[in-house]
């Protein structure tokens, strides 16, 4: 189940608010310019499905997003608990960073924790299958896939180079709840 926990930036222990209803999540995130919608990830993917198979299965959703946002590049991130680079990739995404473009993700399997920082607050957004999230360019955030990741997300970019991050150097991500605690 999708879950949003909102904290004051100075207090990583006591949430100011917790939402599990999709409409309430969308409203809370819209306050900081983040788009959140519940879509339908209704295609069962084969365990060995490659990126092309995932993109073909969701071609309609991809084309809709490309038309809406002018996205030129699309890729798929598919992580499983036995992925050989899972620890390295997790560390990379756990550091607070920003992008020069919106970060758009459609989760078609599994889950992952986006944490966003804006307006003196921290938003822990557990995204699950069927969730579409679009984080505006320049928004400070990090992502935790957990120590045993299991998710498939379609990513869209306006930059044909794909995922390009500028790390902030701030250690705030070390102070806030991680995927395992929020997902429990």
Per-domain residue ranges for the chain? Answer: 3-183
Q: Report pLDDT for 134.
A: 96
Q: Report pLDDT for 135.
A: 95
Nearest to 115 by CA among 137, 144, 147: 144
On the question of pLDDT at 88 being above 70, the answer is yes
Q: Report pLDDT for 162.
A: 59
Check the annotation: does 97 bind a ligand.
Answer: yes
pLDDT digits (tens, 9 = 90+) for 134-181: 999 999 999 999 999 999 999 998 876 656 788 999 999 999 988 876
Pairs from 170-174 (Cβ < 8 Å, separation ≥ 24)? 170/96, 170/140, 171/96, 172/9, 172/96, 172/117, 172/122, 173/94, 173/95, 173/96, 173/115, 173/142
- Please compute the mean of the pLDDT values over residues 98-126 and round it to a whole number: 95
Residues 150 and 80: beta-carbon distance below 8 Å: yes
Tell the residue number behind the tokens 């499983």, with chain if given.
80
Residues 38 and 131: beta-carbon distance below 8 Å: yes
Check the annotation: does 141 bind a ligand.
Answer: yes
pLDDT digits (tens, 9 = 90+) for 77-86: 999 999 999 9
In CATH, the number for domain 3-183 is 2.60.120.10
Determine the Cα–Cα distance for residues 132 and 165; give it in Å rounded to an integer.
Answer: 20
Q: Report pLDDT for 184.
A: 60
pTM attached to this predicted model: 0.93
Determine the Cα–Cα distance for residues 34 and 6; give it in Å rounded to an integer.
Answer: 14
Check the annotation: does 19 bind a ligand.
Answer: no
Q: Report pLDDT for 161.
A: 66
Question: In this structure, what token pair is assigned to residue 181?
Answer: 């605690």
pLDDT digits (tens, 9 = 90+) for 8-63: 999 999 999 999 999 999 999 999 999 999 999 999 999 999 999 999 999 999 99
On the question of pLDDT at 4 being above 90, the answer is yes
- Please compute the mean of the pLDDT values over residues 102-123 and round it to a whole number: 96
């Amino acid at each position: 189940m999708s879950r949003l926990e909102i904290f004051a930036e100075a207090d990583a222990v006591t949430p100011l608010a917790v939402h599990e209803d999709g409409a309430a999540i969308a409203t809370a995130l819209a306050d900081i310019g983040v788009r959140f919608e519940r879509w339908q990830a209704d295609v069962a993917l084969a365990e060995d499905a490659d990126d092309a198979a995932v993109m073909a299965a969701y071609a309609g959703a991809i084309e809709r997003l490309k038309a809406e946002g002018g996205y030129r590049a699309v890729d798929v991130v598919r992580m499983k608990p036995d992925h050989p680079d899972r620890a390295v990739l997790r560390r990379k995404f756990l550091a607070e960073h920003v992008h020069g473009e919106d970060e758009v993700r459609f989760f078609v399997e599994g889950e992952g924790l986006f944490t966003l920082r804006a307006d003196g607050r921290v938003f822990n957004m557990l995204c699950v299958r069927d969730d579409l999230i679009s984080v505006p360019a320049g928004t400070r955030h990090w992502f935790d896939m957990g120590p045993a990741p299991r998710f498939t997300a379609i990513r869209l970019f306006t930059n044909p180079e794909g995922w390009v991050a500028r790390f902030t150097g701030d250690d705030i991500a070390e102070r806030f709840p991680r995927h395992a605690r929020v997902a429990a």
